[in-house]
Amino acid sequence: MAKEITSREENYSQWYNDIIKKAGLAENSPVRGCMVIKPTGFGIWENIKAQLDKMFKETGHVNAYFPLFIPKSFLSKEAEHVEGFAKECAVVTHHRLMNNPNGTGVVVDPSAKLEEELIVRPTSETIIWNTYKDWIKSYRDLPLLINQWANVVRWELRTRPFLRTAEFLWQEGHTAHATREEAIEEANMIHELYARFAEDYMAMPVIKGAKTANERFAGAEDTLTIEALMQDKKALQAGTSHFLGQNFAKAFDVKYSNKENKEEFVWATSWGVSTRLIGGLIMTHSDDEGLVLPPKLAPTQVVIVPIPKPAPNIMEVAEKIAKALKDKGITVKIDSDETKRPGFKFAEYEMKGIPVRIGIGNRDLEKNVVEVARRDTKEKTSVNLDGVSDYVVTLLDEIQNNLFQNALKFREDNTTIVDNFTDFKDALDSKGGFVVAHWDGTSETELKIKEETTATIRCIPNDAVEEDGKCVFSGKPSSKRVIFAKSY
């Protein structure tokens, strides 16, 4: 099977599509730009969702659900927001079909035209802030810490599974606060939470920083981002947390009376991550043999394969191991399908990225051992039957950690600090990856660099050192370095 995957060197983009197809993660649907997320792909999303949901709840957030549709007029209420967002979207204009008078199929009933068109939500700030107007009256109603798990639609021209699709699944947090400081603190807290999730669960190292004015969310005063580096040395924006100031409160007239009984506008944040994370997961860890998944997010963590075939004594051992693993909270599958040979199964599970495979053979059993293979390094080890479940628990941790360390090393190897524009372009062209350089802080320079190189400023990193420097493009003074890269 593995030979059906294009190698990364040959064609990274095709490799990505092959992985998604062969590992059964998703496929294109007959609706342009919309994908079908298959059970294995959806299983990864369920794990992502469960963990993030837990982290949101631990930090005081609750879930709610707002309408799929947004009245068209809402989008124009926040001026910057409509500029940045509203244009490419799905517009509902009618509410009824009728039988085609010519007798074939159905057509739109022209008499069922809506008075005001509805937009399928591309994001929900407007409908939510219109609702918050009624929910927030006094400082006692604040902070309001709400998250929504939902589907959203943006009519993208060029789509790629997970990375950019017309419909995608995401969570969007929308919080309201009494003070500027509290809202900024919330945006920062979620930024840290996203980074912790990316690193601890996805094993995907990220750089935390702020977007420049050009790259900010439409309607935000500040956009915080986590940026990861993919294997083809392009950056992926993996999650953003926005400080929205009072923009939406003013657009939707959301005020609260403070302790002195004085009316003030509310302060806001919004933040989201999406099924795009699955694209990042694939492009951070997988190899030419197939998908590689960090154990903490793998829908199946261990597969047990009897060799050469599932004889009764082998099945008994398999089930005993499976039970011991399940008791330790590990998801495990026994493959007792007799129509496929073990070699075929091994290749298939490598393709699907199951972190650990346990082979049980007759000769092994005589020696009271089983063969444990790890997906990341493909190493195999004979492990004594008595200690196999403890061994696997430790191994899963080791794989999780190893994947993170490899990705971190890859990022470090592909991060270049430059001090002039010749080196800047050279680093981008010959090496790719993150290029760390001084920038004069102007949108003008940023756009000129983008025009000339296609690279954008991924972020102004949180941990940038204050130092005297000169912008690589304009030579004007700069106080810290920012991260440039070509990106998804």
Span from 64-72, 250-258, 309-317, 374-382 in contact with a second copy (CB under 8 A): 64-72
Question: What residues numbered 169-208 form the site for a second copy, per CB under 8 A?
Answer: 169
Contact stretch for a second copy (CB under 8 A) within 43-51, 189-197, 212-220, 237-245: 43-51
We find the least distance from the C-beta atom of residue 166 to a second copy, in angstroms, to be: 8
**Pairwise CA distance, residues 149 & 421, whole Å:** 43
| Shortest distance, position 124 Cβ to a second copy, whole Å | 11
Q: Report if residue 42 touches a second copy, rule: CB under 8 A.
A: yes
Structure-token match 């009824």, residue found: 96
> Could you say whether residue 142 binds a second copy (CB under 8 A)?
no
Peptide bond into 67 cis (omega under 30): no
Please give the order of strands across the beta sheet that includes 222-229.
62-63, 144-153, 167-177, 267-274, 235-245, 222-229, 207-210, 456-461, 481-485, 434-438, 415-417
CB 161 within 8 A of CB 45: no
Work out which of 130, 212, 270, 301 binds a second copy, going by CB under 8 A.
130
Q: How far is the CB of 168 from a second copy (least distance, A)?
A: 10
Report CA-CA distances (Å) from 107 to 32, 69, 81, 281: 20, 22, 34, 42
Our CB check for a second copy shows the closer of 98 and 417 to be 98
Q: Which stretch binds a second copy (CB under 8 A): 124-132, 214-222, 228-236, 422-430?
A: 124-132
CB of 63 to a second copy, least distance (A): 5
To which residue do tokens 């062209």 refer?
A: 429
Which of these, 374, 269, 365, 383, lies nearest to 317 by C-alpha position? Answer: 365
By CB under 8 A, residue 417 contacts a second copy: no
Pick the stretch among 63-71, 257-265, 304-312, 348-356 that binds a second copy (CB under 8 A). Answer: 63-71
Site for a second copy contains 87 (CB under 8 A)? yes
Contact between 139 and a second copy (CB under 8 A)? no
- 146 binds a second copy, rule: CB under 8 A: yes
The pair of structure tokens assigned to 482 is 């920012």
State which residue, 319 or 386, has the beta carbon closest to a second copy. Answer: 319
Q: Would you say 33 or 433 has its CB closer to a second copy? A: 33
Q: Write the DSSP string, 351-379.
A: HHT-SEEEEEEHHHHHTTEEEEEETTT--
Direct distance between the N- and C-terminal alpha carbons of the chain, in angstroms, rounded to an integer: 28
**Single residue of 48, 52, 75, 228 touching a second copy by CB under 8 A:** 75
45 vs 267, beta carbon nearer a second copy: 45
236 and 194 Cβ atoms separated by less than 8 Å:
no
Nearest to a second copy of 96, 380 (CB atom):
96
d(CA 382, CA 373): 9
Report how far residue 171's alpha carbon sits from residue 392's, in angstroms, rounded to the nearest whole number: 33
- For a second copy, give the closer residue by CB, 50 or 417: 50
Pick the binder of a second copy from 48, 52, 70, 298 (CB under 8 A).
70
Total residues at interface with a second copy (CB under 8 A): 64
Is 64 near a second copy (CB under 8 A)?
yes
Task: Sketch the per residue contact string, 328 through 367, with a second copy: x for CB under 8 A, - otherwise.
Answer: -----------x----------------------------
Q: Are 408 and 205 in contact (CB under 8 A)?
A: yes
Element (H, E) at 249: helix 247-251
Q: Does 326 bind a second copy (CB under 8 A)?
A: no
The total of other beta-carbon atoms located within 10 Å of residue 49's CB is 17
Cβ contact 292:352 at 8 Å: no
* Shortest distance (Å) from residue 276 CB to a second copy: 14
- Of residues 213, 207, 221, the one with CA closest to residue 487: 207
> Which of 44, 118, 226, 318 forms a contact with a second copy (CB under 8 A)?
118
Pairing of strands 69-71, 113-120: antiparallel
| Cα dihedral 34, 39, 42, 46 in deg (nearest 10) | 150
Q: Using the minimum distance from each CB to a second copy, give the nearer residue, 253 or 452.
A: 253
In the complex, minimum distance from the CB of residue 24 to a second copy, in angstroms, rounded to a whole number: 10
Q: Is 103 in the site for a second copy (CB under 8 A)?
A: no
Site membership for a second copy, residue 127 (CB under 8 A): yes
233 binds a second copy (CB under 8 A): no
Is 173 within 8 Å of 190 (Cβ atoms)?
Answer: yes
Binding site for a second copy (CB under 8 A): 27, 29-31, 34-39, 42-43, 45-46, 62-76, 82, 86-98, 104-106, 108, 117-120, 127, 130-131, 134, 140, 146, 150-151, 153, 155, 167, 169, 339
